[in-house]
């Protein structure tokens, strides 16, 4: 049944039957209960990581662990941001009830931008231990890096980083502000405006996401290059953001009693998307691997060489099976996506594997053999804690569901075959 | 087809049919379906749920659009189609794996760039594609099979009211083969469930095909035999007539192609050898110094060796022969040593030529000789790693013999080869060969350059690397 985009439509019918759930869809007192412990955990985690790093790998190890954890939490906001844009572009009706959750996750990019400062400051202070292109002695010995010096230098790196965060903050604020405005009025012109602007915004997003992945992770191996690298990070981000979304929905539904209009049908679809992007991640990862494997050019294979030796080969295999074959085969079953406990299980599983994926992308540049200890755990716990605090802050006392979207009715009635 | 479907406009029945049972259209044929019409989807869902709860299993609901919840109301179980797709996908992967394994590795092994004959990374795209192909085709065919399609006609199509199922009406049909079916009771049930209208559809009597149709099919089949038999006839007989060509295309031209025979010439070859004593345009190459590295009149000395220029390939490098241990048996004198090679470049030496030489050297020579000319190119390193028995490692350019060797002789080596190295005369034009030699001379000089050759402003950049 198609639903016309008229204000009358959403004000009638849906109000009468759904007025009950619209009253209490904010975090309410829960926000206060989560915010402070998350913040304390986050700061404590970072302190532990910094303290442990002082005894082991020093600043270099701390920055690597911090970068890995930062890219991990950042990916949730990027994945959610893209999917909100896609929903507007495709005029999706089914997903209206899950869209606000994604808008709020994406909005956490604003506080996260402050957490990028340690890396930026390290680069600006001339630290060349993480990004070797910032180390004059290294550059002097590597003609290929010299050739890239006009792109890979601390000043231009900073300008770009600021630009990426500016774009993301602009996109998320635009999406959330208008979506919240729609809560007050059922005027469809707001939805139409969001749909029109999403086209140009998705171009900005694609470019910034690709270049951010290249700048912050690919340039750790400054001689190596792969044009698909940005897409690879994006694909993993989508898996991570859907895993997080599923988990949040299930957690907020059961103990907190929120989000009751999100039904098994919506979770089934977010599960399908998580499954789809798991396959997409594998597809992109394999595309990158196969071209390099087949061409067999030393300057390209050196990156995979590092990931197939010294213990990294087990991490690579863990990714192939843990990030693709096992979750894909599990999620292939319809029942797995519709059961709350099973979907939560795969979501947690994929959240873990998504961290392993980023660890595998970044850490071989740190050490020829896997290193995982208090520094890495501390940085991960720290940034996840701060991210949760940021998320709660971004959610504030906003409704976790859109209240007056013209397609809300369609979304509430959404039904899989 | 002799049945006359119920006609709304026929007098007397229209009012009676609004609520109630339409008269049986063709009493001679048994009832196949009972059809009930509803005007809202809600009524249809309600009726379907009731019919299902009464224990009926062979019934169907018809609607202009999908209705949410109708599956539950009708008690329809979830389809088994995904299993078809899953196993077909698996079969596709297995097929692709076996296909590549047997064709690439077992039946027709063909080594390409040293890649393994069978490996997962190169097979994965084919596995993926065949998985998708098998799964997609099976899903389509499985869907058709599970729905028992295609169906050329259906008893329900006798009803004219049923045509509105694609427009604005909703229908429920109960199959007469249903175990619960009892003519009167079933009709009463449907009427009681708020049907606007109930009618019966009868089995269709199958009439023989019209004679005109049969004749047309027979004639068509007969005509279809004509081209086949003509082809068969032509293929089994001989003819002196030229081939029939509908369109004269570029493939059939009045000319001879390479490697074919001709009756025009006595030797039967269509390809003609060069006429002796002639030279093709641009092939004169009279400048001995530029084209052969010889002093003027050097070709006379070549003629004295009774071997043609291109076959004069050194088996033993001059430098290597000089370095041989004194006790070793003396090698026969190399005829190349006696030829009058030029000592200077027969063309103007410019920085551009040097740049060109460096580029060409890195393309053609460095893979074996190494970027510095000491004989440590990637191919050499790999051949040594693989312990290739027939591999002759290239010599270094920095030996005494090669540094002193006349430039003309080195030009000859590039052009016609030396020991195991093939001649590059056909691949590299003369000018580029001289450019390469210029660069090789520069490489040679680099290892033995005196300090006076270093520009004064670069002297203080030198670091002592000598042992």
Phi, psi of B301 (to 5 degrees): -65, -35
| pLDDT tens-digit map of B172-182 | 999 999 888 88
DSSP state of B138: H
Is A8 a domain residue?
A: no
- Which segments in chain B show pLDDT lower than 70? 1-27, 306-333, 464-467
Chain B residues inside the 8 Å CB shell of A413: 68
pLDDT of residue B25: 52
ipTM: 0.82
| CA distance linking residue A92 with residue A144, whole number of Å | 46
Beta-bridge partners for B172: B36, B61
Chain A residues inside the 8 Å CB shell of B86: 332
Is A372 a domain residue?
A: yes
The 10 Å Cβ neighbour count of residue A3 is 15
Please indicate whether, in this complex, the C-beta atoms of A296 and B113 are within 8 angstroms of each other: yes
Tell which residue, A304, A388, A347, has the closest CA to residue A69. A388
DSSP state of B103: I
Q: How many helices (H) and strands (E) does chain B have?
A: 17, 6
Output the six-digit token pair for A46.
């970072």
Work out the average pLDDT over A254-281: 91
Q: Are strands B59-62 and B31-38 parallel, antiparallel or unpaired?
A: unpaired
Crossing angle (nearest 10°) for helices A96-107 and A154-184 = 140
Closest-CA distance of chain B to residue A94, Å: 14
| CA distance linking residue B342 with residue B340, whole number of Å | 7
Is A175 a domain residue?
A: yes
| CA distance linking residue A345 with residue A275, whole number of Å | 13
Chain B residues inside the 8 Å CB shell of A290: 121-122, 124-125
Is A18 a domain residue?
A: no
| pLDDT tens-digit map of A152-201 | 999 999 999 999 999 999 999 999 999 999 998 888 999 999 999 999 99
DSSP state of B246: S
Please indicate whether, in this complex, the C-beta atoms of A286 and B124 are within 8 angstroms of each other: yes
Please indicate whether, in this complex, the C-beta atoms of A334 and B71 are within 8 angstroms of each other: no
| CA distance linking residue B274 with residue A106, whole number of Å | 78
Output the six-digit token pair for B106.
């077992």
Which 3 state secondary structure label does DSSP give A61?
Answer: helix
Which helix (H) or strand (E) element contains residue B422?
Answer: strand B421-422
Best mutation target, B121, B126, B382, to test chain A (most A CBs within 10 A) = B121
Beta-bridge partners for B61: B172
Q: Are B401 and B319 in contact (CB under 8 A)?
A: yes
Q: For chains A and B, count residue pairs whose Cβ atoms are closer than 8 Å.
A: 21
The 10 Å Cβ neighbour count of residue A393 is 16
Q: Are B357 and B443 in contact (CB under 8 A)?
A: no
DSSP B32-76: EEEEEEESSHHHHHHHHHHHHHTT--SEEEE-SS--TTHHHHHTP
Tell which residue, A402, A415, A412, has the closest CA to residue A194. A402
Is A197 a domain residue?
A: yes
pLDDT of residue B392: 85
For chain A, the domain total comes to 1
Is A337 a domain residue?
A: yes
Best mutation target, A294, A329, A409, to test chain B (most B CBs within 10 A) = A294
Q: List all residues 6 or more positions away from A114 whose beta carbon is below 8 Å from its beta carbon.
A: none
| CA distance linking residue A233 with residue A241, whole number of Å | 12
Q: Are B369 and B420 in contact (CB under 8 A)?
A: no
pLDDT of residue B12: 37
Asked if residue A275 has pLDDT above 80, the reply is yes
Q: Considering only residues B331 and A344, tell me which one the structure prediction assigns the higher pLDDT.
A: A344
| CA distance linking residue B159 with residue B23, whole number of Å | 12
Please indicate whether, in this complex, the C-beta atoms of B68 and A415 are within 8 angstroms of each other: yes
Q: Looking at chain B, how many residues does it have?
A: 467
Which 3 state secondary structure label does DSSP give B4?
Answer: coil
| pLDDT tens-digit map of A74-97 | 999 999 999 999 999 999 999 999
pLDDT of residue B315: 58
With cut-offs at 50, 70 and 90, classify the pLDDT of residue A127.
Answer: confident
Name the residue among B68, B86, B121 with its Cβ closest to that of A290. Answer: B121
Tell which residue, A167, A344, A152, has the closest CA to residue A248. A344
Closest-CA distance of chain B to residue A379, Å: 35
Which 3 state secondary structure label does DSSP give B171?
Answer: strand
Crossing angle (nearest 10°) for helices A264-295 and A340-362 = 30
Mean pLDDT of chain A: 91
| CA distance linking residue B37 with residue B20, whole number of Å | 11
Please indicate whether, in this complex, the C-beta atoms of B115 and A332 are within 8 angstroms of each other: no
Please indicate whether, in this complex, the C-beta atoms of B82 and A296 are within 8 angstroms of each other: no
Beta-bridge partners for B31: B202
| CA distance linking residue B452 with residue B310, whole number of Å | 41
Taking the alpha carbons at both ends of chain A, their separation in whole angstroms is 14
pLDDT of residue A3: 43
Chain A residues inside the 8 Å CB shell of B124: 286, 290
Residue ranges making up the domain that contains A46: 27-406
Is A4 a domain residue?
A: no
Question: Could you give the maximum distance between any two Cα atoms of chain B, in Å?
Answer: 130
Q: Which residues of B touch A (CB under 8 A)?
A: 65, 68-69, 71, 78, 82, 86, 113, 115, 121-122, 124-125
pLDDT of residue A271: 95
pLDDT of residue A218: 95
Q: List all residues 6 or more positions away from B190 whose beta carbon is below 8 Å from its beta carbon.
A: B34, B36, B47, B51, B172, B174, B198
Is A16 a domain residue?
A: no
With cut-offs at 50, 70 and 90, classify the pLDDT of residue A285.
Answer: very high
- Rounded (5°) CA angle A176-A177-A182: 95
Please indicate whether, in this complex, the C-beta atoms of B122 and A286 are within 8 angstroms of each other: no
R_g of chain B, CA atoms, integer Å: 45
Q: Are B187 and B178 in contact (CB under 8 A)?
A: no
Crossing angle (nearest 10°) for helices B120-146 and B81-100 = 150
Which helix (H) or strand (E) element contains residue B188?
Answer: helix B183-192
Beta-bridge partners for B197: B37
């Amino acid at each position: 049944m198609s639903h016309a985009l008229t204000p009358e439509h959403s004000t009638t019918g849906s109000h009468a039957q759904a007025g009950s759930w619209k009253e209490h869809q904010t975090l309410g007192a829960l926000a206060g209960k989560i915010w402070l412990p998350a913040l304390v955990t986050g700061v404590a985690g970072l302190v532990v990581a910094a303290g442990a790093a002082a005894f082991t790998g020093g600043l270099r190890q701390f920055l690597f662990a911090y970068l890995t954890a930062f890219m991990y939490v950042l990916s949730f906001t990027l994945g959610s941001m893209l999917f909100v844009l896609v929903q507007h572009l495709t005029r999706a009706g089914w997903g209206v009830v899950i869209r606000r959750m994604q808008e709020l996750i994406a909005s956490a990019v604003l506080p996260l931008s402050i957490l990028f400062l340690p890396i930026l400051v390290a680069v600006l202070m001339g630290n060349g231990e993480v990004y070797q292109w910032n180390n004059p002695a290294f550059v002097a010995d590597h003609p290929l890096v010299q050739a890239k010096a006009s792109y890979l230098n601390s000043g231009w790196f900073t300008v770009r980083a600021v630009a990426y965060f500016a774009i993301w903050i602009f996109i998320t604020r635009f999406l959330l502000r208008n979506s919240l405005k729609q809560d007050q009025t059922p005027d469809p012109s707001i939805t139409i405006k969001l749909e029109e602007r999403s086209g140009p915004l998705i171009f900005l997003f694609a470019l910034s996401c690709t270049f951010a992945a290249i700048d912050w992770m690919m340039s750790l191996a400054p001689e190596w290059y792969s044009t698909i690298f940005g897409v690879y990070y994006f694909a993993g981000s989508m898996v991570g953001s859907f895993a997080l979304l599923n988990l949040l929905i299930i957690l907020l539904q059961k103990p907190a009693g929120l989000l009751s209009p999100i039904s098994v049908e919506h979770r089934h679809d977010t599960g399908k998307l998580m499954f789809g992007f798991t396959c997409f991640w594998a597809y992109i990862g394999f595309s990158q691997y196969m071209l390099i494997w087949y061409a067999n050019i030393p300057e390209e294979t050196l990156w995979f060489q590092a990931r197939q030796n010294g213990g990294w080969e087990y991490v690579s295999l863990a990714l192939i099976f843990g990030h693709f074959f096992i979750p894909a085969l599990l999620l292939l079953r319809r029942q797995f996506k519709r059961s709350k406990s099973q979907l939560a299980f795969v979501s947690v599983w994929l959240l873990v594997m998504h961290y392993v994926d980023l660890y595998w992308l970044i850490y071989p540049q740190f050490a020829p053999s896997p290193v995982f200890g208090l520094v890495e755990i501390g940085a991960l716990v720290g940034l996840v804690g701060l991210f949760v605090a940021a998320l709660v802050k971004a959610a504030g006392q906003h409704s976790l569901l859109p209240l007056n979207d013209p397609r809300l009715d369609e979304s509430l009635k959404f039904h899989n075959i | 087809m002799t049945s006359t479907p119920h006609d709304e406009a026929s007098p007397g029945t229209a009012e009676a049919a609004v609520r109630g049972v339409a008269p049986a259209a063709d009493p001679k044929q048994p009832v196949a379906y009972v059809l009930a019409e509803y005007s809202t989807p809600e009524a249809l869902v309600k009726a379907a749920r009731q019919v299902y709860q009464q224990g009926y299993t062979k019934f169907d609901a018809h609607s202009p659009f999908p209705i949410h919840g109708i599956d539950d109301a009708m008690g329809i179980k979830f389809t088994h189609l995904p299993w078809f797709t899953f196993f077909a996908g698996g079969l596709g992967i297995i097929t692709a794996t076996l296909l590549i394994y047997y064709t690439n590795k077992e039946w027709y092994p063909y080594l390409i760039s040293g890649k393994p004959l069978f490996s997962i990374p190169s097979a994965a795209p084919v596995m993926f594609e065949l998985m998708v192909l098998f799964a997609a085709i099976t899903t389509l065919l499985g869907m058709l099979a599970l729905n028992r399609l295609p169906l050329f006609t259906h008893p329900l199509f006798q009803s004219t009211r049923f045509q509105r199922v694609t427009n604005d009406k909703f229908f429920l049909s109960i199959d007469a083969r249903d175990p619960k079916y009892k003519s009167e009771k079933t009709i009463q049930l449907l009427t009681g469930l708020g049907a606007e209208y109930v009618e019966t559809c009868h089995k269709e009597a199958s009439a023989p095909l019209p004679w005109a149709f049969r004749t047309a099919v027979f004639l068509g089949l007969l005509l279809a035999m004509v081209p086949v038999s003509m082809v068969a006839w032509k293929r089994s007989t001989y003819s002196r007539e030229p081939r029939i060509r509908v369109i004269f295309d570029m493939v059939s031209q009045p000319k001879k192609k390479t490697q074919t025979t001709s009756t025009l010439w006595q030797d039967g070859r269509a390809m003609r050898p060069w006429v002796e004593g002639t030279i093709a345009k641009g092939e004169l190459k009279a400048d001995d110094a530029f084209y052969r590295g010889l002093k003027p009149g050097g070709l006379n000395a070549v003629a004295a060796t009774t071997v043609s220029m291109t076959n004069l390939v050194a088996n033993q490098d001059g430098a290597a022969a000089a370095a041989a241990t004194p006790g070793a048996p003396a090698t026969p004198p190399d005829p190349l040593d006696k030829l009058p090679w030029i000592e200077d470049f027969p063309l103007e030496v410019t920085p551009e030529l040097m740049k060109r030489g460096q580029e060409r050297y890195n393309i053609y020579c460095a893979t074996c000789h190494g970027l510095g000319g000491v004989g440590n190119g990637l191919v050499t390193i790999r051949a040594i790693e693989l312990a290739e028995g027939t591999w002759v490692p290239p010599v270094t350019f920095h030996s005494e013999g090669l540094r002193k060797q006349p430039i003309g002789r080195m030009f000859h080596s590039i052009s016609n080869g030396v020991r195991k190295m093939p001649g590059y005369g056909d691949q590299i034009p003369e000018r580029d060969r001289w450019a390469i030699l210029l660069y090789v001379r520069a490489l040679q000089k680099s290892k033995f350059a005196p300090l006076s050759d270093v520009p004064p402003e670069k002297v203080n950049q030198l670091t002592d690397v000598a042992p």
